[in-house]
Amino acid sequence: MSEAENQATSILLPSSGVAVYSRDKTTVVSAQAIKEDWRFARVDIQVSEGDIETAIEAYQNAPSPDLIIVQTDTVDESFTGRLEALAPHCSEGTAAIVIGPENDVYLYRQMIEMGVSDYLVRPVETSILADVIAKTVIEKIGVTGSRLIAFAGAKGGVGTSVIAQSLAWAVSETLGQKTILLDASGGWSTLGVGMGFEPSTTLAEAVRAAEAQDEDSLARMLFKASDHLSVLASGGDAMLEQSITASQYERLLDMLMVKYPVVLVDLSASASDLKNAVLARANQVVLVSTATLPALRLGRSVLQEMKEIRGDSDEGIEMVINMQGFAPANEVPKADIEKAMDFKPAAMIPFDPKLFVGNESEGKKLIDDKAGNALVHNVLLPVLQRTLASDLAGTQVVEEQSGGIGGLINKITKKA
């Protein structure tokens, strides 16, 4: 196996688009089943009943995806001629896979020479189709990383964990992204309470499993909160001493980030070296504070250190002011916060103890509450969508260029 093939069997695939055209029920079922494979969480697979003619018509006035799969009952010159007709309607670099009726070495070589990425013989099992698609996508786009989002508080008690948990639910349920929520706090973690489960592991055990590349053991340590959300919360770690190093925690992140498109890390009560390591590599950092003067003063200092850790830049850093209005006489007015911080808050969350503390204490989802759902989706979620939308949509935008299926257009030009 090539390096690309080895990678494709065990990693989360990059954001990409795949279109399947087939009139064969078995092939359609196999293609639809691939959507349940964790590797394809970021791959948009569109399955249509049709053939080469359907594909030609589809891309006459619309950009083609990264990969087109066409099934045919004939592989004579009439089909290859229509395959050549498809090429001018495809964007530069679009890959193609053909599913045909015959197992013929000469035919396979002919297809490859035309620029087709692979030729499969029906019936095609789901596992085989998935591996071939994965290999093709990796070879075309390469390996891209997941989005790592870190949450840190200006001080204790500002509600960082509740916001991290609420956004984990929103990202997984509303955006439909396969998400994992981690807590770097060790024995200080309260994530299990907020998410309504009893932690079954320690942070030290989790990093040992990552160091040993023991995926089965690590998988058993995760709490599956929903179809799209998993949680790794520790319990039982020593509270007054650090049980793991920053490099060990990074190895845990490395292992999880090849399987989850979105990784959220709550840094609330974590050790300083763990904070620094995660803040330095995070795609986005959410700093949570209240509007009180002590919190804002600490927040200003933390914000400056965050900028230094991230290369003297505030790129990717957002600030959320939480519990606004819980102590009006002792809060900095909303209009003065930006001036005091020299940084514009991305969101302001009103004080609502019944909503936030009540839901966390009872292990309920904030988005299940009508008011909480509106708050998370209208105020909090847009903070993350600035990062997630650019990642999820950016690589799927296909510019319309003259080109064809892989090297097919060049082959046709030479033949002419």
Give the burial class of 303: count Cβ atoms within 10 A of its Cβ; 0-12 exposed, 13-18 middle, 19 or more buried: buried
- 401 in a domain, yes or no? no
Give the burial class of 130: count Cβ atoms within 10 A of its Cβ; 0-12 exposed, 13-18 middle, 19 or more buried: buried
Q: What is the CATH number of the domain that holds 25?
A: 3.40.50.2300
Count CB-CB contacts under 10 A for residue 138.
22
Contact 176, 228 (CB under 8 A): yes
Cα–Cα distance measured from residue 392 to residue 251, given in angstroms and rounded to the nearest whole number: 24
Q: State the pLDDT at residue 258.
A: 79
The dihedral over CA atoms of 349, 354, 356, 362, expressed in degrees to the nearest 10, equals: -170
The token pair at 244 is: 């793991």
213 lies in the same domain as 326: yes
The token pair at 203 is: 């942070």
- 75 in a domain, yes or no? yes
Q: State the pLDDT at residue 398.
A: 30
Select from 404, 395, 401 the least CA-distant residue to 43. Answer: 395
- 307 in a domain, yes or no? yes
Contact 256, 180 (CB under 8 A): yes
Give the Cα-Cα-Cα angle 115, 118, 124 (nearest 5 degrees).
Answer: 150
Q: State the pLDDT at residue 358.
A: 64
Count CB-CB contacts under 10 A for residue 156.
11
- 412 in a domain, yes or no? no
**What 3-state DSSP class applies to 147?**
strand
**How many structural domains compose the chain?**
2
255 lies in the same domain as 370: yes
241 lies in the same domain as 107: no
Q: Which domain holds residue 335?
A: 147-394
Give the burial class of 333: count Cβ atoms within 10 A of its Cβ; 0-12 exposed, 13-18 middle, 19 or more buried: exposed
Q: State the pLDDT at residue 411.
A: 39
52 lies in the same domain as 191: no
Q: What is the CATH number of the domain that holds 374?
A: 3.40.50.300
Alpha helices for 328-380 (secondary structure H): 334-341, 353-361, 370-375
The H helix count followed by the E strand count for the chain is 18, 13
139 lies in the same domain as 152: no
Select from 168, 27, 111, 187 the least CA-distant residue to 407. Answer: 111
Mean pLDDT by 10 residues, the chain (416 residues): 49 86 94 90 92 94 92 86 89 88 82 86 92 87 77 92 91 86 80 76 88 88 89 77 85 86 90 91 94 94 94 92 90 89 92 75 75 87 77 34 44 37
